[in-house]
Amino acid sequence: MGQLVTRRADSDPGIGEILLRCLQSMPSNKTLAYNTCYSAGVFQLEKEDIISLYIPRYNANVDHNGSSTFLGMVRL
């Protein structure tokens, strides 16, 4: 498991361009499948680009607690 951060234009079909990728081995037992994955990069975004986070595991859960999960961007 891991995660993908992608960018696509609103008019483009599909997943778009992969900006960041983090892959890790995960146990098949869902109660043990906890991990952290840090990715960082600098990208030039265009107006109206759509940024998405994908987790390619059908039974993955994301902890939306503010102290557990963070996705942020900084404008340079």
Most confident of 19-23, 36-40, 66-70: 19-23
> Which residues 6+ apart lie within 8 Å of 76 measured at CB?
42
CA 29 to chain centre: 22
Q: What is the pLDDT of residues 24-62, one digit of tens each?
A: 777 777 777 677 778 889 999 888 899 988 887 777 777
Count of alpha carbons within 13 Å of 57, Cβ hemisphere only?
Answer: 18
Work out the number of other CB atoms within 10 angstroms of the CB of residue 3: 20
Identify which has the larger pLDDT, 70 or 3. 3
**Phi and psi (nearest 5°) for 32?**
-105, -5
Q: What's the maximum distance between 2 C-alpha atoms anywhere in the chain? A: 41
